[in-house]
C-alpha cells in the first residue's frame, strides 16, 4: 500500500542544507520513494496558525520503504543535522480513505 511522508520544515541554521539535499535525493530513490512536492509556495487555509518555511510531500511504495529510508545508516547523520538545524515535523500517512 502507498504511504506518504508530509513534512513541515523551517531551517534555523541553513548550514546543513547543501550536504543534506543530494544525499536525501539519492536515498529517497534508493528506497523507492519520490518527491511529489518540495516548495516554499504554500498557504494554510484552515486551523490554528502552523507556519513552516518549506512543505514536502513524498510518496512511498510501502510503509516499510519509508521506515527503511528513515532508518538507513547513511541517512542518520543528515537526519541529525536537519533535526538540529530546523524546526521540523514529519508525518507518515497511509494512502487509504477510511471514510469511503
Q: What's the domain count of the chain?
A: 1
Q: Is 17 left (phi over 0), alpha (psi -120 to 50) or beta?
A: alpha
Indicate whether 17 belongs to any domain.
yes
Q: Report residue 62 as a C-alpha cell.
A: 510501502
pLDDT by residue (tens digit) across 17-41? 999 999 999 999 999 999 999 999 9
In sequence order, the 6+-apart residues with CB closer than 8 A to the CB of 23 are: 74, 75, 78
18 belongs to a structural domain: yes
Structure confidence by residue, pLDDT tens digits, 39-90: 999 999 999 999 999 999 999 999 999 999 999 999 999 999 999 999 999 9
CATH number at residue 73: 3.30.70.100
Residue 14: domain span: 3-43+61-94
pTM given for the model:
0.94
72, three cell numbers: 538507513
Q: pLDDT grade, residue 98 (50/70/90)?
A: very high
Amino acid at each position: 500500500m502507498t504511504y506518504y511522508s508530509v513534512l513541515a520544515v523551517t531551517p534555523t541554521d541553513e548550514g546543513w542544507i547543501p550536504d543534506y539535499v543530494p544525499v536525501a535525493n539519492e536515498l529517497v530513490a534508493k528506497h523507492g520513494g519520490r518527491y511529489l512536492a518540495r516548495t516554499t509556495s504554500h498557504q494554510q487555509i484552515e486551523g490554528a496558525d502552523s507556519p513552516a518555511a518549506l512543505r514536502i510531500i513524498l510518496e512511498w511504495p510501502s510503509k516499510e520503504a519509508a521506515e527503511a529510508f528513515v532508518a538507513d545508516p547513511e541517512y542518520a547523520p543528515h537526519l541529525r543535522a536537519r533535526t538540529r538545524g530546523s524546526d521540523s515535523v514529519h508525518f507518515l500517512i497511509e494512502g487509504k480513505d477510511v471514510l469511503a
